[in-house]
Chain A
Amino acid sequence: SYLLSQPPSVSVAPGQTATITCGGNNIGGRSVHWYQQRPGQAPVLVVYDDGDRPSGVPERFSGSNSGNTATLTISRVEAGDEADYYCQVWAGNTDLVFGGGTKLTVL
């Protein structure tokens, strides 16, 4: 089965840029989607198809995908961005795969 790996935690000061990675074998050949989950809430889609944003998601959120690593970048980080972030890909047939999640801490 296809595996995705994420760093357990990332810390960043307000106003700085946060980078969250998602590693997988030739992940660059797949579409990667990112979800934000604040404590006690359901996940919310923030980036889809590697780098597109749903309506309502700030332009500060962007994504890229190449080789064995996909990246979610959050520019000008705010306190409200503190959350868990999960990457996800379609693993074929009817299977989805999620990364283990990264806790973003805003210092």
Chain B
Amino acid sequence: EVQLVESGGGLVQPGRSLRLSCAASGFTFDDYAMHWVRQAPGKGLEWVSSISWNSGSRGYADSVKGRFTISRDNAKNSLYLQIDSLRLDDTAFYFCAKDVATTVTRVDYWGQGTLVTVSS
């Protein structure tokens, strides 16, 4: 059974940093691209970032480019999102999601999400 478990969310002040983690199990992690998708309270899904199976390709939404960094450790079956210079509008549930291929195509499984709240 595919499982994606996010962690690292919490209450953070504007301008601070945070590192989100996603522990993957139930599939061969290094066979698939991975994604981060966020959802502000009461709003829709927003793609944040994606990374290919071997970290050779990474992409970011314009809204986070330069502040967010996606990475993965295939030996640890883990995906990460480093968030710097947090802003109030970064407040959201952050979902880890698995692709169906080695490169970015679409999502087939989602984690339950971790909440990041940016507030002074």
The answer to whether A107 has its CB under 8 Å from any CB of chain B is: no
Total A-B residue contacts, Cβ distance less than 8 Å: 69
B89 → chain A closest CB, angstroms: 16
Cβ-defined contact, B50 with A33, below 8 A: no
For the complex, what is the distance from the CA of A88 to the CA of B37, rounded to whole Å?
12
Cβ-defined contact, B106 with A90, below 8 A: yes
Residues on B with C-beta less than 8 A from A42 are: 95, 110-113
* Interface residues on chain B, size class: 20 to 34
Contact residues of A with B, CB < 8 Å? 1, 31, 33, 35, 37, 41-45, 48, 54, 84, 86, 88, 90, 93-101
A-B contact pairs, 17 of them (CB 8 A): A31-B105, A42-B95, A42-B110, A43-B45, A43-B95, A54-B108, A84-B44, A86-B44, A88-B106, A90-B104, A93-B59, A94-B57, A95-B61, A96-B47, A98-B37, A98-B44, A98-B45
Contact residues of B with A, CB < 8 Å? 33, 35, 37, 44-47, 50-52, 57-59, 61-62, 95, 100, 103-113
